[in-house]
Amino acid sequence: MFLPENIDLGHSDEYNLSIRLTPDGFSFYIYSPADPSIFHFQETSLGGKLSYLDHIKKVIFDLGFFSQVFNKTTVTTVSAQYTLVPDAFFDRKKAKELFHFNFHNPQGVVLSETTSTGSLHVLFNIQEEMHAFLLRNLWNPVFHHHITPLLQLFEKDQKAWDTPSCFVDFHDNCATIICFAGDKLLSANTVPCLNPHDTTYYIASLWEKLQFSQTTHRLCLSGEVDTQKTVIDILKKLIRRVEYVNLHPKVMLTEIQRKNLPTDIQAALCV
């Protein structure tokens, strides 16, 4: 496997490894927390010959270095199945019960993580066999959900504004939509983004439901905006203040990487 010359896996403990699991894909990146110039991202689509789990196993075994000792190893799950629980109402012993309340017969292990402010707990699930396999074959992995870095990124952006904001991140044939009024989180959902008219209708309906102003409140876009030109053109006719989110990762990225890397990855690299 090709890695940049400045990455020496003989010193893997100097690098952070992060894996990203999507419903139909697998990617990873390696970077140095001490040297912004050291960053490598690679992704692969999953074929139809193997099951999702077997394909992930094959990729990890074929590449061969995932079990090495890294400074930090993380796994991010991208999915629409997650539940946000305010800290005041969170009980770790009831995490599974809380998660199952919102989803009919969900499969797998229910995991949780806390946002950086500690105000919210994110509950999400991952296939049980996948979870067990990754625990066995990675060095002390920490599991995350893609919504968490987006919440933290958009909450930080929102603090600079008095007006309510709706953030829409396009990724993986989905749109993750997060709305704030002041420092209050109003909603957070991830929906399919396959039909531009359905996507536009969902965003416009949410805007109306939250009683957002079409002239003064902000619509902030990020992610795969180039693939959503039809949606964005319609939204610009409905909403006056359409802006684009600025990201400032702490690693050196090429222009192509800045354009194509998922927002949740870039958000995690901003911390």
> What residues contact 86, with CB distance under 8 A and at least 6 apart?
119, 120, 121
State the CATH class of domain 1-145: alpha beta
C-alpha distances in Å from residue 241, one per residue of 2, 34, 95, 117, 196: 43, 38, 38, 28, 20
pLDDT in tens, the chain (271 residues): 578 889 999 999 999 999 999 988 899 999 999 999 999 999 987 777 889 999 999 999 988 999 999 999 999 999 999 999 999 999 999 999 999 888 877 889 999 999 988 889 999 999 999 999 999 999 999 999 999 999 999 999 998 888 999 999 999 999 999 999 988 999 999 999 999 999 999 999 999 999 999 999 999 999 999 999 999 999 999 999 999 999 999 999 999 999 999 999 999 999 8
**C-alpha torsion sign, points 131, 175, 148, 210:** negative
Helix axes 229-238, 196-209, angle to 10 degrees: 30
**173-195 b/e with 16+ CB inside 10 Å = b?**
ebbbbbbbbeeebbebbbeebee
Residue-level pLDDT at 4: 87
| Domain residue spans of the chain | 1-145, 158-244
Pairing of strands 165-171, 174-181: antiparallel
Q: How many CA atoms lie within 13 A of 182 on its CB side?
A: 1
The neighbouring-strand residues paired with 169 are 176, 222
What CATH number should be reported for the domain whose range is 158-244?
A: 3.30.420.260
Q: In what order do the strands lie in the sheet with 142-145?
A: 39-45, 25-31, 16-22, 72-77, 142-145
pLDDT of residue 227: 95
pLDDT of residue 228: 96
Listed in sequence order, the residues at least 6 apart from 157 whose beta carbon sits closer than 8 Å to its beta carbon are 165, 167, 220, 245
First to last CA, the chain: 28
**What are the C-alpha distances in Å from 13 to residues 16, 34, 67, 265?**
8, 12, 11, 21
Greatest C-alpha distance within the chain:
56
Closest by CA position to 1, among listed 59, 76, 69, 73: 59
Do the first three CATH levels of 1-145 and 158-244 match, i.e. the same topology? Answer: yes
pLDDT value at position 268?
96
How many CA atoms within 13 Å lie on the side-chain side of 176?
24
pLDDT of residue 240: 96
CA dist 34 → 14, 142, 250 (Å): 8, 20, 10
pLDDT for position 131: 97
Task: Please report the sign of the dihedral spanned by the C-alpha atoms of residue 198, residue 166, residue 80, residue 222.
Answer: positive
